[in-house]
Structure 1
Amino acid sequence: MSATTAANPAAVRRGTWRAVVAASIGNALEWFDLVVYGFFAVIISKLFFPTGNDTVSLLLTLGTFGVSFFMRPLGAVVLGAYADRVGRKAALTLSILLMMIGTLIIAILPTYETIGVAAPLILVAARLMQGFSAGGEFGSATAFLAEHVPGRRGFFASWQVASQGLTTLLAAGFGAVLTGELSPAQMVAWGWRVPFFFGLLIGPIAWYIRTKLDETPEFLAAETTDTPLRDTFASQKLRLLIAIGIVVLGTVSTYLVLFMPTYGVKQLGLAPSVAFQAIALTGVIQLVFSPLVGHLSDRYGRTSIMLISAVLLLVLIYPAFAWLVANPTFGALIIVQVVLGFLMTGYFAALPGLLSEIFPVQTRTTGMSLAYNIAVTIFGGFGPFIIAWLIRAADTKVAPSFYMIFAALVSLVALIAARRKLGFN
């Protein structure tokens, strides 16, 4: 940042909001591609994993969704360390380029019927590339947002979550319109590809904006390290472990929302367009409510707000699913989605600001990327698969609540540890 810019508050504000747009639009694209894949899992399973058994095909597709998350820790290591050594801007630009390549492959990939076993293999390769890219996106984007205005880390970092709400809204909108306006045959033939091509239109814009950004003032002022990964494991193991635990509930609640259209269609017997309309509400809540939660976390403390949301999720999630299963209607799904959306956002929107403060600037992106992506890989990426398996194994449609209860307990322990061991409020 130049001296002129630093002395000009209006220029500082413009630069800060330009950073918000740059980080948010790229993050939205990353999540848009992931969410769309989850939303259209039923169709993709039939086109790329035809086994003669719809349940097995769906499990294979959701398993492929999860396999890509094995690449996220690698992306966190490579791109996170790259961001701590070279800068947040460079890592953000590289991650968006890799995601665009993966999206292009999926958008134009022929199906199993056309090229045989090569189709699912290439699909897996594209998902692995997207997983690697996403592994570096969260830490880089969060650090980039949090370091522009350190006194308001919670508010500005929360736009990371708000952009995911925009993603959910856009993806749900595509799902509702496409499934409502196109016939099942048209959806299978070409309709499911439309959102991926839309993502390709956003990608170049996001990449261009990111190439024109300035580096964060906090990173420029700090003394960098050539070994951020080694430093993280050498002196910040407790911080890393606590951060992983904190992320668990955030990622499980997010991917439960991602699974809800499939749940509504397969378990409740609702029309796909109805399920997508319901989840769109969650996107609106996340988009609008996240900055408010971030602002409140700056005033009253991050862990205080997150503890309240975690306890409410723990207590309410089973009764909510039991009621929904007993009343499988559009209105009931709307009510559950609204409650889940507010509680999930109340927890998740404060999380990026907290993570950015757990790690020092020299290892911030590496630490956040590792914590976030280890938790997402283990608990989130296979979340839809685990939920589908739980429903089948436990033979009950309320099984998704079991997974959420487990996640809430893990994160409650981690939040208490953050308060007692690290001194956060």
Structure 2
Amino acid sequence: MSEATANDFASLDAGQLAALRRRAILSCAIGNFFELFDFTIYGYFAVAITRAFYPSGSMYGTYAAFGAAFLMRPVGAIVLGAYGDRMGRRAALVITIGLMAGATGAVGLIPTYRAIGYWAPILLVLCRLLQGFSTGGEWGGAAAFLVEYAPPGKRGLTGSWQQFSTQIGAVTGSVSAALLASSLSEAAFYAWGWRIPFLCGFLLGPIGYYLRNKVAETPAFERAVETRTVEHAPLRVAMREYGTRMIQAFGLSIIGCIANFIFVVYLVSYAINTMHLPSSAAFSCAVASGLVVVVLTPFVGALTDRVGRRPLILACALLNLVFDYPLFLLAIRGNTFKSLLIALICNAVFQALYTGTIPSILAEMFPTRVRYTALSVSYGFAVVLFGGFAPLISTWLVDVTGNPFAPAFYVMTGGALSAIAIISMKEYRDAPLE
């Protein structure tokens, strides 16, 4: 991170700069894939984890541990975000992937409750906390990294590769769950089969670590170093100078977090536990839903470069507000593989409007000197308050009200809050990154 390094970018011809961008985007995307595969597989194996670590069989413990990881996301966002704004995006992203790989492998090795008693759920929660800390620094860093490497006029498309790769990681997690559930006996799946993806996540982590360690720092951050505009207290500066934008960023992030975790995690587990759909069928619906998001995300990202970020992410909020209750009715009253599949795919289309837009819109709202911290903290608090505990809150809402459709109203509330935040802000598509 020196003046010579910063000047090197200006000396590259168009072909060399394009090749540098491709390497940077690929390394970041592969790292995103590993990171989110490791983090999300917990949700897909929630039923198996409950049987292994919580003898009562209640999903409350599993979902509480799931949510506990999200409590650490704002902490990771603050600590790693500040590190990334001071020392560079690449340096922070190298740390996050190492932390995630270690914590994920440990989950796959923890003995069951029958073997070590209460130490089993305690160790599980500790691993989830470490995963959450890592992901809190990963999300914002990857978004900032990609948008800062984007060529002119393509920040939406380039930024969307962050969510494209993370969605592939999530889909791979659901594929692994579906394959293991269909190829193993039920006894083998719940005894040891669910541990395989966690161990694979640990083994794949070093690949992402190596690729990230080899990529150059972003030109935008190198310019900040060269011009001596790096902030030593980025969170304090961000809150003082861009507090309103952080509130708006928090608000617009809500709908994607809440809809994803309720439809893909809670509703799939509900289909297995309460609707008594076969595990392989329910996981297959999650795979199909994820594939829809993967395919549509880059197209939405490219579209935002033409029409702006606000119209598409506002459409996501309003569609969830209007259609989530009918989709819950369809999935639960239908009580079939087909009804669940249609509900998840419809919501996946709404979700793609979010995933194709969220990296670029958040990165463009803040200048380079506080970008990593500001967008990480804004998004991190949205995830912890409206995403990580969404399955637990949904389970509680159903128990308290006796209404299986109560979680739909929770998602609709998120849609309304996000719509208000989006309407209150301006369009940043053509704003300079500096």
TM-score bucket of the superposed structures, by smaller chain? over 0.9
- Show the 5 A alignment for 1:138-149: 138-149=139-150
Q: 2:381 aligns with which of 374, 377, 396?
A: 374
Residue equivalent to 2:20:
15
Maintained 8 Å contact 1:165/1:285? no
CA-CA distance at 1:121 after TM superposition: 1.0
Name stretches of at least 5 consecutive residues in structure 2 with no aligned partner.
none
Residue equivalent to 1:71:
72
For the aligned residue pairs, the C-alpha RMSD in angstroms reads: 1.8
- Show the 5 A alignment for 1:293-372: 293-372=300-379
Q: Deviations over 1:127-158 (max 9, x none)?
A: 11111111100111110000002532211111
CA-CA distance at 1:217 after TM superposition: 0.5
Structure 2 residue matching 1:229: 3-state secondary structure? helix
CA-CA distance at 1:420 after TM superposition: 8.6
- Show the 5 A alignment for 1:148-297: 148-149=149-150, 151=152, 152-222=154-224, 223-256=229-262, 257-297=264-304
Structure 2 residue matching 1:370: 3-state secondary structure? helix
Structure 1 residue matching 2:102: 3-state secondary structure? helix
Structure 2 residue matching 1:362: 3-state secondary structure? coil
Maintained 8 Å contact 1:5/1:11? no
- Amino acid of the residue matched to residue 189 of structure 2? M
CA-CA distance at 1:363 after TM superposition: 0.2
Partner Cα distance (2:388, 2:8) in 1: 44
Identical positions, percent: 38
CA-CA distance at 1:327 after TM superposition: 1.1
Partner Cα distance (1:253, 1:20) in 2: 27
Residue equivalent to 2:46:
41
Partner Cα distance (1:185, 1:311) in 2: 43
Maintained 8 Å contact 1:168/1:282? no
Partner Cα distance (2:248, 2:83) in 1: 23
**Alpha-carbon distance change, 175 to 10 in structure 1, aligned in 2, over 3 angstroms:** same
- Amino acid of the residue matched to residue 239 of structure 1? R
Q: Deviations over 1:284-334 (max 9, x none)?
A: 112111111111111110001111222112111111111222211111111
Q: Deviations over 1:385-410 (max 9, x none)?
A: 11111122221222221111010000
Maintained 8 Å contact 1:109/1:123? yes
- Amino acid of the residue matched to residue 216 of structure 2? D
Structure 1 window deviating more from structure 2 (254-263 vs 42-51): it is: 254-263
Residue equivalent to 1:395:
402
Partner Cα distance (2:69, 2:170) in 1: 20
Name stretches of at least 5 consecutive residues in structure 1 with no aligned partner.
none
Structure 1 residue matching 2:425: 3-state secondary structure? helix
Structure 1 window deviating more from structure 2 (63-72 vs 25-34): it is: 25-34
TM-score, length-scaled by structure 2 = 0.93
CA-CA distance at 1:412 after TM superposition: 0.2
**Alpha-carbon distance change, 4 to 19 in structure 1, aligned in 2, over 3 angstroms:** closer
CA-CA distance at 1:234 after TM superposition: 1.4
- Amino acid of the residue matched to residue 358 of structure 1? M
Maintained 8 Å contact 1:267/1:397? no
Maintained 8 Å contact 1:165/1:282? no
CA-CA distance at 1:267 after TM superposition: 3.0
Q: Deviations over 1:347-397 (max 9, x none)?
A: 232011000011111000000110011110111110111111112222122
Partner Cα distance (2:207, 2:323) in 1: 41
Residue equivalent to 2:29:
24
CA-CA distance at 1:23 after TM superposition: 1.6
Maintained 8 Å contact 1:39/1:259? no
CA-CA distance at 1:6 after TM superposition: 4.8
Maintained 8 Å contact 2:155/2:305? yes
Residue equivalent to 2:100:
99
CA-CA distance at 1:275 after TM superposition: 0.6
CA-CA distance at 1:260 after TM superposition: 3.0
Residue equivalent to 1:129:
130
Partner Cα distance (1:186, 1:228) in 2: 49
- Amino acid of the residue matched to residue 37 of structure 2? F
- Amino acid of the residue matched to residue 141 of structure 1? A
Maintained 8 Å contact 1:35/1:258? no
- Amino acid of the residue matched to residue 176 of structure 2? F
Partner Cα distance (1:14, 1:198) in 2: 30
Structure 2 residue matching 1:147: 3-state secondary structure? helix
CA-CA distance at 1:339 after TM superposition: 0.7
Partner Cα distance (1:167, 1:366) in 2: 24
CA-CA distance at 1:238 after TM superposition: 0.6
Residue equivalent to 1:414:
421
- Amino acid of the residue matched to residue 19 of structure 1? A
**Alpha-carbon distance change, 398 to 8 in structure 1, aligned in 2, over 3 angstroms:** same
- Amino acid of the residue matched to residue 29 of structure 2? S
Partner Cα distance (1:252, 1:158) in 2: 19
Partner Cα distance (1:267, 1:357) in 2: 43
